[in-house]
């Protein structure tokens, strides 16, 4: 029975999911943006310029052939800093979402599989965490820690797992009484095998959507924290801390705010479009 469920899942992804995703233009556009950001981040060193190199002689130069996106108040190339900043944003997004997804899957699986007091305990903890505004909770934690990229990633991950836990719990509650689970129990399979081998693979579809959208949220959070001066610290380039310089020279150097802001907008839009497309492709209510 478990083999039949896995075969059906594989057939769905092969015959339905990819077909729907390929025909969704917005999802393809989002996927293209995400892929482009990865390529640009990987190619950051190809500019041949140091993102932290100071050259006062070229301070606040407008976009030109030499500096396509201009320079900042210290003469640093904005294009190079944006490309290196893309590495920071993608790293923060994926690590933070990875931490949140692992925690959410583990707690959601325990709550949904065992139910009763385990479910009550986990879900009350989720409710408590949801009572605090996530951004202000992050600010409170960072106030006691040294602001660094690793602290930012860990804190964002530790404060954004609740949605994943709820999704996984709901999937487990609907799956745990299915015939293939009962058959596994009758054969004496341990709980860990049932959870990770039989139930979890069938509960990952909504988690995939949540993780894709979560990367966009993590990038926005990191940018906001860096803009406030408690995120990634200079001279490490981050889209958020680049906006600080842009704010100070908004009237005379528009490019310092426009291009980092545009990078954040396009990246977040790409992940949102891709996440929405994946959700539509996984929706069983949609007809071919």
Domain spans of the chain, in order of start: 2-6+31-282
Q: Give this prediction's pTM.
A: 0.84
Q: Going by C-beta distance under 8 Å and a sequence separation of 6 or more, which residues neighbour residue 33?
A: 266, 267, 269, 270, 273, 274
Q: How far apart are CA 272 and CA 48, in angstroms?
A: 32
Give the angle subtended at the CA of 24 by the CAs of 20 and 26, to the nearest 5°.
150
Q: What is the pLDDT of residue 259?
A: 92
Per the omega criterion (within 30 degrees of 0), is the bond before 235 cis?
yes
Q: What is the pLDDT of residue 10?
A: 52
pLDDT, average across residues 129-139 = 81
Give the helix ranges, DSSP H, for the chain: 2-12, 18-23, 25-42, 78-114, 116-131, 134-142, 149-158, 162-175, 179-186, 191-193, 205-227, 239-248, 255-282
What homologous superfamily does CATH list for 2-6+31-282?
Answer: MetI-like (1.10.3720.10)
Q: What is the pLDDT of residue 27?
A: 86
Q: What is the pLDDT of residue 248?
A: 79
Q: State the DSSP code for 197.
A: I
71 phi/psi in degrees, rounded to 5: -130, 165
CA distances from 274 to 61, 86, 143, 215 (A): 36, 18, 34, 11
pLDDT, average across residues 178-206 = 80
pLDDT at 29 over 80: yes
CA distances from 176 to 172, 183, 227 (A): 6, 11, 45
Lowest mean pLDDT among 49-63, 80-94, 169-183: 169-183
pLDDT band at 284 (very low <50, low <70, confident <90, very high): low
Q: Look up residue 205 and give its two tokens.
A: 């579809």
The residue written with tokens 């999704």 in the block is 167
pLDDT band at 249 (very low <50, low <70, confident <90, very high): confident
77 phi/psi in degrees, rounded to 5: -70, 120
Residues 134, 159: contact at Cβ < 8 Å?
A: yes
pLDDT, average across residues 36-56 = 87
Q: What is the pLDDT of residue 15?
A: 59
Lowest mean pLDDT among 24-38, 75-89, 96-110, 124-138: 124-138
Q: What is the pLDDT of residue 283?
A: 65
pLDDT band at 35 (very low <50, low <70, confident <90, very high): very high
pLDDT at 14 over 60: no
pLDDT tens digits for range 256-280: 889 999 999 999 999 999 988 888 7
- Rounded to 10 deg, the angle between the 78-114 and 25-42 helix axes is 120
Q: Average pLDDT, whole number, for the chain?
A: 84
């Amino acid at each position: 029975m478990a083999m039949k469920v896995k075969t059906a899942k594989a057939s769905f992804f092969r015959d339905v999911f990819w077909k729907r995703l390929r025909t969704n233009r917005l999802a393809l556009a989002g996927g293209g943006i995400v892929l482009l950001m990865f390529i640009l981040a990987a190619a950051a060193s190809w500019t041949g310029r140091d993102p932290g190199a100071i050259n006062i002689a070229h301070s606040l130069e407008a976009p030109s052939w030499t500096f396509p996106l201009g320079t900042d108040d210290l003469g640093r190339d904005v294009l190079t800093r944006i490309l290196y900043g893309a590495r920071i944003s993608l790293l923060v997004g994926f690590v933070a979402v990875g931490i949140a997804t692992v925690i959410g899957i583990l707690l959601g699986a325990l709550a949904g599989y065992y139910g009763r007091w385990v479910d009550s305990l986990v879900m009350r903890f989720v409710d408590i965490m949801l009572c605090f505004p996530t951004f202000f909770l992050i600010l409170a934690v960072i106030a006691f820690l040294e602001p660094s990229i690793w602290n930012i990633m860990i804190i964002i991950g530790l404060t954004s797992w609740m949605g994943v836990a709820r999704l996984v719990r709901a999937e487990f509650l609907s799956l745990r009484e299915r015939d293939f689970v009962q058959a596994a129990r009758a054969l004496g399979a341990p709980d860990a095998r049932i959870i990770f081998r039989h139930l979890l693979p069938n509960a990952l579809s909504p988690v995939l959507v949540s993780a894709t959208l979560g990367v966009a949220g993590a990038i926005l959070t990191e940018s906001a924290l860096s803009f406030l001066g408690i995120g990634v610290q200079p001279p490490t380039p981050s889209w958020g801390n680049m906006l600080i310089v842009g704010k100070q020279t908004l009237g005379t150097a528009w490019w310092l705010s426009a291009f980092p802001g545009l990078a954040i907008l396009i990246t977040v839009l790409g992940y949102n479009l891709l996440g929405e497309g994946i959700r539509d492709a996984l929706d069983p209510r949609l007809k071919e």
